[in-house]
Structure 1
């Protein structure tokens, strides 16, 4: 059967490749075939079963889609606010997969809502706000989030993610994309808008990105962000940077410190670190506040560029895997079982972090109410059933606390 030629809808073969921005050469290399074969499939729709399965895995689509009689509808490309050395960069397949996955998760919750009379997806509480200026957005966020000096200085990332979820926002963290390519994204909907932030940034870096993307939501400007430039060309990115910076580190605070003589040397590394630690933000936020407040001018920036750029463009966290040779050890069955549980728990916690408490809790609700099975959840989260059981255990512990 695997070598039998089957007839598919050729338009879906084309869509599967183009929807994630793969070219013919890339797909051909991944499938270890000539790219002429790809062109032949897309011209005739004829392909072997085994090749179809492999293509569906590469493009991350369900095989049954290729047999649909209706032609695919191409979505409008997402707005891309990213720049690299002031040049536009391509939306990679990994980014397209991340966006598709995020949209599918949102659809999952809407499906659960349809299946249950008692489960209601949260409305986006800020959808009716009309913002005419950056300061309007800052005032709204300060009021809605009940922002205070204590919260700015003490609350960590998880607290703010929880606050965003309370507003009816899905917050996802992605792992496989370098921050220089994508720091965050926003998908706007009146119901369940989505914010994505890059887990490979530092915690305080993610915190700023979270507020940057929240500003995008208030402005109803969805898109991709990385703001990897000192002189941003895009007005929306400049505006969202200002809003995030003002909510987390108000200008009046900086002005007060300057007038009191507490801040004198705006390029001093120790000062930048001290302020970053006080406000629980990255050094990048402090440097940008100095730049945007004209405390550091273009001439100063050029002189101290090397020192300041380590804050503006921090290197991403690297998963360094050191090769350590371990001696073979004899371990008991009980120890093996203990290690397995510890591993499962680590993976479970990572999965919760990646998807957010609200999304995970909704899946568990669907399980307890016989809408989803453990296998359904495992497939949805791309983990084993054992991991799902660990996830449920962790969430139960949270709820008991």
Structure 2
């Protein structure tokens, strides 16, 4: 008879609920035909075997040792949660969101120590402004620091690439992913968050949730840059009812991408939303979704109209089939080219082990040279 694992039933319930699983889904994930077995484990009337306990830990993404704790551990996000529903803060946080924040912070802390070792100085633009400054001044300062003028040609995709490159040239790590690590089954839900910023004068980081429509990510990029300029870390959902700094960062992003004065000059209330959006997006080389967001912020359309437009764009995005792309290019976006370059250089020089470099980059140690070659590092 297999040895029973004397785990705490309370922890099983906590782990299941934390992972957002019903008892039925939990049983299915564990390969158990009868949900009553899960009910018994949570009630403490029976115990799982050690093999089953390991499956419980794996299914809920917790360390195996947690199952033997007396009480569930207290978990707090390491950065402020600025997401709201109405005027109330959102309390629920998925395991995926917690884990991606931890992964990004792990990389950020390594990079910060690396910068200290090579003698880099603090960045003067981080925390240069507050929400008491004007939206226009902050937007203009971001543009000046990045050295990217309003585009005169090219697509919004070209503009976004240019801005990301400029941000990394200013020593801002820009990381993008729609999953946790390399696990395609652990998707990041855009309904939960669209991005976050880690405001640090030495090693600032922006993370963009790639599960969002590509057309919406440009707005998220500038929104998170605004967070850095006011020295504010936090998780954002970019909704319409937020804390003061969220409203401010939304306004900065809007002013940066589509200046209000020019927007009002171009907006024609006598034509359809689509006609307005197409004309303005063409002028500023941003997506239709960014223009629709700007129209809402400038009170040209109401919240229902904007929400309907956004949902249509998201449906169109989901209908498009993706091959998944080249693994190395995807990993490059997830890690940021700037971070990747530093880690690869340290590994190739022998200052860190290939094993440690692989852990930081989320790739196999023997694939690092190929990864560097693909990204032209």
TM-score by length of 1: 0.70
The change in CA–CA distance for 1:24 and 1:287 in structure 2 (over 3 A counts) is closer
**Where does 1:2-401 land on structure 2 (aligned, <5 Å)?**
17=15, 25=23, 30-31=29-30, 32=32, 34=38, 37=41, 50=51, 53-60=54-61, 74-75=75-76, 78-83=80-85, 88=90, 90-110=92-112, 112=114, 117-118=117-118, 123-131=122-130, 132-135=132-135, 136-150=137-151, 155-175=158-178, 176-228=187-239, 231-257=240-266, 263-265=268-270, 267-294=272-299, 296=300, 298=302, 305=305, 309-311=308-310, 314-315=313-314, 317-318=317-318, 346-385=326-365, 387-395=367-375, 398-399=376-377
1:128 positional shift: 4.5
Shift of residue 158, structure 1, vs aligned partner: 2.2
Match of 1:327?
none
CA 1:242–1:128: 2 relative to 1, 3 Å? closer
Please state whether the residue corresponding to 1:186 is helix, strand or coil: strand
Q: Paired residue for 1:338?
A: none
Go from structure 1 to structure 2 and tell me whether the alpha carbon gap of 1:201 and 1:122 turns closer, same or farther (over 3 Å shift): farther
Deviations 1:72-124, CA, capped at 9 Å, x for gaps? 7743563132438999473222211211211122233345568xx54x56744
CA distance in 2, matches of 1:279, 1:145: 17
Specify the SS of the correspondent of 2:76. coil
Describe the SS at the equivalent of 1:172. Answer: strand
Rg larger in structure: 1
- Using a 3 Å threshold, how does the CA distance of structure 1 residues 27 and 18 change in structure 2: closer, same or farther? closer
- Structure 1 pair 93–141 and aligned structure 2 pair: CA distance change class (3 A): same
Q: CA separation of 1:152/1:74 partners in 2, compared to 1, >3 Å: closer, same or farther? A: farther
Give, in whole Å, the separation in 2 of the partners of 1:55 and 1:111.
36
How far apart are residue 142 of structure 1 and its match?
2.8
Whether contact under 8 Å (1:184, 1:213) holds in the other structure is yes
Q: Greater shift after overlay, 361-370 or 80-89?
A: 80-89
Residue pair 1:24, 1:35 contacting (<8 A) in 2 also: no
Superposition deviation, residue 313 in structure 1: 6.5
- The verdict on how the C-alpha distance between 1:254 and 1:312 changes in structure 2, with shifts beyond 3 A counting, is farther
Report deviation, 1:210.
Answer: 0.4
SS of match in other structure, 1:349:
helix
Cα shift at 1:265: 3.3
Q: Flag structure 2 segments of 5+ consecutive residues without an equivalent.
A: 179-186
| Mapped partners of 2:129, 2:164: distance in 1 | 23
Distance in 2 (alpha carbons) for counterparts of 1:174 and 1:183? 11
Secondary structure of 2:151's aligned partner? helix
Say if 1:90 and 1:61 are closer, same or farther in 2 by CA, change over 3 A. Answer: closer
SS of equivalent to 1:318? helix
Q: Aligned equivalents of 1:192 and 1:61: distance in 2?
A: 29
The answer for unaligned runs of 5 or more in structure 1 is 41-45, 323-342
Residue in 1 aligned with 2:184? none
Give the deviation of 1:252 after TM superposition.
2.2
Say if 2:148 and 2:163, in contact at 8 Å, map to a contact too.
Answer: no
CA change 1:75–1:123 in 2 (3 A) is farther
Deviation at 1:207, TM superposition (A): 1.0
1:39, distance to aligned residue in structure 2 (A): 7.2
SS of the aligned residue for 1:182 comes to coil
Report the Cα offset of residue 285 of structure 1: 2.4
Count of residues in correspondence between the two structures: 355
